[in-house]
Structure 1
Amino acid sequence: MAGNLADYESLGSTGEVVRGDQLDYNGAPAGYATAPEETVNYVDAHDNEALYDMNVWKPPQDAPMDVRVRMNTLSLATVALGQSPSFWAGGTDLMRSKSLDRDSYDSGDHFNTIDWTEQDSGYANGLPPEGKNGEAWDLMVPMLEDPAKNPAPEDIASSSEVTLDLLRLRSSTPLFTLGDAELIRQKVTFPNAGPEATPGLLVMRIDDTVGPDVDPALDGAVTVFNASDEPLTEQIEHMAGLGYEPHEVQASGADEVVKGASWDAETGTVSVPAHTVAVFVSAQDGGKRTGPPAHAGRSGKPGHAGEQGPPAHSNGKAKGRASGEG
């Protein structure tokens, strides 16, 4: 979420400050970029397991469908609200399934079809081909036969509406797309981390009172991920006395559950429902908006799209390099 920067420093689970390139990911550095645009982040991709199918395996087998819908959204939010460009695999916002297929490259339309009418997720279309799946067939059969794991049209529609709000959040403020490594190091922190971190809780603060003023409407944004099974209430480090409120996109959005999230300004304490990502913002004096910019929802690209260098909203003060420069 900090752009996969190699030199980004954060407090690790051991209590020591670690750089991105010191975090191990299957024997390689997890952080390796010098600029956020050098990585494109995703949670599922191409021929691999669909996100919905992974969320069939990982939660408790008796988890209700509304939890699976929320975990789908929560997963997508980790890249949609991060600093690097992100992509979603086709249909992942629609809870698209490939019937647990682990590698659908040669699986044909029967397993790869996406129903854009939002009537059928593709779950339980059959037992996936033996090649990459045969060893797990005995586990797959009872899951594929369980009707409680097959999203109904109303589940698909709910997922689609709520994930669109993630895109509206991302486009509502340039704080989610700082576009410059130095700005990320200055403004992006992860409070309440370290050995005493609450399991299932991740907090990302983007402080626009530090360094150049990137968003003239906001002093900052705080994104809180609660991946746990219970509502969480926690005081955020160094934020007592700061006034934040739920982001307008979510306050008026499709997810009724996130509307129960709250911020106590006196103590800097946040409360977030289970399986929920909540965004809070602090308006600058005279700031006018916390909703999507004027171009949000229109076809085509915003005016700065395709131009080299930082967009106009970075006030010309960004210090990074444009994509393609040496």
Structure 2
Amino acid sequence: MDKQATILVTGINGQVGYELLRSLQGLGRVVGCDRAALDLDNPDAIRRVVREVKPTLIVNPAAYTAVDKAESDVEGATRLNVQAPAALAEEAKQLGAALVHYSTDYVFDGTKDSPYVETDAVNPQSVYGRTKLEGEQAIAASGCDHLILRTSWVYGRRGKNFLLTMLKLGAERPELKVVADQIGAPTWSRTIAATTAHVVAQGLAAQRGGDADWWREHSGIYNLTAGGATSWHGFTEAILGIAMGDKAPKVLPIPASDYPVPAKRPANSRLAGDRFAQTFGLRLPQWDEALRLCLAD
């Protein structure tokens, strides 16, 4: 293997992709692609770019994440969440490259009482969840070396996400009503990117040391979420409490049934991080600690 790895990163204008470009610095030649450079709606374009770049590693945070819109745009969600990762995986297999891909808690139905582990039965309840699961399955079927990292409730200081929405609404309204009966771990996009970089560093160092099988031996699905859990209501109270202090509006808890949306969400989105911690020696910070860092940034 060349001493200088080439790392292809998709979706660099997204929450996680933007952070990955920064976190992966120093690990190799990082080639970042936005939609203009890599049209993930077009499998032929994907194959052409991968063959031109010849990456050692592909990191794919790009996805169709408009959960409610996906219910009426099945084809669009399928192209980005199934066909694109399938093409990336097949090209990675041909090149002998590894693929790091991100998935979601929405592959589960949310009926379990305790945090989900990687081997729990999947049962997605939305088009988004189903297409993300089919993307996972396509990657595994390709036979490429891969890490599938399931995360949840991703937020950051750019793009469209719950944090930015609540900061905007909190500044505009004296009172907010927020769902309190869905539980998960809000996970900062920078935490995801930084932790990914630590894992990538382990893999590349192992390869440089002569362990050609490191990626294959570590291939599989891992949960990658912040520690602890809260509700959307609790997350909102924390966001506004940290950002606005005494000026924060009142946040009233409501059941999900009072806020109907096209796509069904899991009531329990908690993912156990033990397998990731035991395999890579890494454990993500508590969700509220990361939130404070994000808001202080």
Report the TM-score, using the length of structure 2 for normalisation: 0.29
TM-score normalised over the length of structure 1? 0.27
From the two aligned structures, give the one with the greater helix fraction.
2
Q: Which has the higher contact order (CA 8 A, sep 6+)?
A: 2
